[in-house]
Structure 1
Amino acid sequence: MSERSAVSGEPIGVGVVGLGTIGVRHVEVLGHLGGLARLVAASGGAPATLRDLGHADAAHLSPEEVIAHPEVDLVVLCTPSGLHGEQTLDALRAGKHVVVEKPLSVDVASAEEIVRVSEQRRRFVSVISQRRLEPQSQYLKRLLDDGTLGRPVLGEAFVHWLRDDAYYAHASWRAQQDQGGGSLMNQGLHSVDLLAWLMGPVTRVTAQYATLGHRFDAEDTTVATLQFASGALGAVVTSTATPPGRPATMKLFTGRGAAEFANSDVAAWDFDGVPAPPEPDHGPGSGASDPSAIGLAGHLAQWRDIVDAYRTGRAPEIGARDGLRTVQLLCGIYEAAETGRAVTLEEIS
């Protein structure tokens, strides 16, 4: 693959596979990067969508043609979750860098293969985990890592959301467990990923899941307990069957105090002598009852990191190994629920 964009300073050639709600968001974000990236080609949706988004010159092609396009340096995958693993590998083998919406894959084996091929081909994979890059998340991570907040004791992540039948009817994969349609892997992933990143690696999980508010194959409610390498414990609840739908919340308890977040807002900060995290200028929005309500700010922050990584040759802040760890955690929770036993994440492969 030509590295002309990195060497010459030309805009990065981007190809987007999947022009649904999330794919359109990525295209919109490209317009906020100051000309550092240009849309070369896209698949899905209608050709008119590209014109409406201000990219009339971009080619409307099949997914395979987007991935193979000689002017595409970086492929963005916004397809159904069950396709992420295979398409990421196809893009890497075509010599492209990859940005993939969550999850990296719906199974651990393909996620491990992505890490291997990415490192072998010297092409990065950045998994969209924009919650990690929010100012309050970065601040909290720093204070936890340097011990300012004391030893972590307990972390809780709650996603009490609502998705109606029309949402699931719009895309059949959303109702299929093996395609990543469950509330944990589809709606709860960002909250679980953020909690695990802040509190340190998870070593052991127990769980239960059920389908309580809908009639389909995928779970719509999951409850899990986590044990972290530090010895701290955690709890995760995700659901798309809890009207009216409320902002995702996260609570952290340490030996020195506690903090609570409602989506990106600081709901409580009880650490004496430690300033509260900065409030974001533009929060990411809440997808509690409407997935389209999530704004551009989080994606834009991660895209700025991706562009800088491409141009400087460094690894992106959130890479393939980060995505693999999250897939291992989610698959471990599902295995624990299906077997009724505690699962050690080292077992998951």
Structure 2
Amino acid sequence: MKVWNFGLIGCGSVADFHIEAIRQIEGARLACISSRNEEKAKAAAEREGCEWTSDYHILLARPDIDIVCVTTSSGSHASIGVDVLRAGKHLVIEKPIAMTAADAELLVQTAKQCGRKLSVISQRRFEAQHQAVKRVLEDGAIGKLLLAEISLPFYRSQQYYDSADWRGTIAEDGGALMNQGIHSIDLLLWFAGEVGSVFGKLATQTHRMEAEDLGLAIVQFKNGAFGTIMASTSIQPGFAASINLYGERGTIKLEGSSIVHWTVPDRPEPSWIHTGSYGGVTDPRSIVSDYHQSQLLDVIAAIETGIEPLVTGEDGLRAVQLVEAIYKSAAESSQIQL
């Protein structure tokens, strides 16, 4: 059996989930870790029994590395990701794929030119309840989709934003939509399809930061359905994200990792309808690595079979395009066509 050698660029808090996921995959090996912070890189490498470097170009020059996970701050995703792909490595990049649609498009095109796989971490697609809902929607079991609502009433303290100078900046981190809300936005697009137009509003209500801590939008999808988006990091004490899907024949409501309402003709309620753990409401580290593992396994399978991964670079691009359109709409107080 082939051993898939991984490289990891970035030793921030999210890197731990990638490291744990790789550790749990049979036939996968973490070969090298890179971070500008030599102390962090060395400590992580010693713990995992792998090599380390403070220059990621040295990591990319290694012929034994097949797949590289980029877990650096969001503003560096595009430039590092392009270097990874041009070095001939497959790329798994943390969300968001990039901070602008133009940079996201560059990553997508570079992956195609280099013949490499590109996947953006959207691990919530791999949760059982979301897989079940996707099948129901694809089968048309709730009829024509009328309305899809996503709500992310999270809380982050001022201390969280003050912990690094890039946090809460538009260029390097993004606000409640681009940072915390991007997972819910990805699920919204996965469930409801492509967006035709959007009208958005932004506010920074409770934090000292450049980006928004409240983002709102009304969306019309190309299939005729409507959608609403709310993402915030100002809601105390913080609550689980929710998704409501209303069709002409039925309704599904999800909260956190549970299905809390299921009206689907001729489809029994899934057995996990009121179960499952959910994290990240107030602490971004309070999640599990299980679904990162599922996504990395999916990427390996895509490389082996030549098919596209479940989450592609194009998926990441569409999510950023929608957030960018909300920003533009809020700035111009106008509806934006996508």
TM-score, normalising length from structure 2? Answer: 0.94
Q: 1:187 deviation in Å?
A: 0.2
Change (3 A) 1:198 1:277: farther
The two structures, once aligned, show a CA RMSD in angstroms of 1.7
Pairing of 1:20-99 with structure 2 (within 5 A): 20-34=12-26, 36-44=27-35, 45-52=40-47, 55-99=48-92
Correspondence for 2:164: 171
SS at match of 2:14: helix
Q: 1:280 deviation in Å?
A: 8.4
Q: 1:278 deviation in Å?
A: 4.6
Pairing of 1:117-136 with structure 2 (within 5 A): 117-136=110-129
Correspondence for 2:97: 104
Deviations 1:219-241 (A, max 9, x none): 11101111011111010000001
How many matched pairs? 334
Q: Is the 8 A contact 1:140 1:277 kept in 2?
A: no
Q: 1:270 deviation in Å?
A: 2.1
Q: Tell me the amino acid that sits aligned with residue 31 of structure 2.
A: V
What CA distance in whole angstroms lies between the structure 2 residues aligned with 1:255 and 1:187? 30
What CA distance in whole angstroms lies between the structure 2 residues aligned with 1:26 and 1:287? 16
Deviations 1:75-110 (A, max 9, x none): 100011111111111111111110001011111111
Q: Tell me the amino acid that sits aligned with residue 174 of structure 1.
A: R
Correspondence for 1:212: 205
Q: Tell me the amino acid that sits aligned with residue 247 of structure 1.
A: A
Q: Percent identity?
A: 37
Pairing of 1:282-321 with structure 2 (within 5 A): 283=276, 285-321=278-314
Correspondence for 1:17: 9
What CA distance in whole angstroms lies between the structure 2 residues aligned with 1:76 and 1:98? 6
What CA distance in whole angstroms lies between the structure 2 residues aligned with 1:280 and 1:270? 12
Q: 2:137 aligns with which of 129, 144, 153?
A: 144
Q: Which sections of structure 1, spanning at least 5 residues, go unmatched?
A: 1-8
Q: 1:57 deviation in Å?
A: 2.9
What CA distance in whole angstroms lies between the structure 1 residues aligned with 2:28 and 2:14? 18
Q: Tell me the amino acid that sits aligned with residue 266 of structure 2.
A: G
Pairing of 1:226-241 with structure 2 (within 5 A): 226-241=219-234
What CA distance in whole angstroms lies between the structure 2 residues aligned with 1:313 and 1:173? 37
Q: 1:313 deviation in Å?
A: 2.8
Deviations 1:306-336 (A, max 9, x none): 1212223332121111111111111111111
Moved >6 Å (runs of 4+) = none
What CA distance in whole angstroms lies between the structure 2 residues aligned with 1:57 and 1:272? 52
Q: Is the 8 A contact 2:142 2:265 kept in 1?
A: no
Q: 1:274 aligns with which of 267, 290, 313?
A: 267
Q: Tell me the amino acid that sits aligned with residue 43 of structure 1.
A: S
TM-score, normalising length from structure 1? Answer: 0.91
Change (3 A) 1:278 1:227: farther
Correspondence for 1:181: 174
Q: Is the 8 A contact 1:284 1:296 kept in 2?
A: no
What CA distance in whole angstroms lies between the structure 1 residues aligned with 2:274 and 2:335? 41
SS at match of 1:76: strand
What CA distance in whole angstroms lies between the structure 1 residues aligned with 2:266 and 2:309? 34
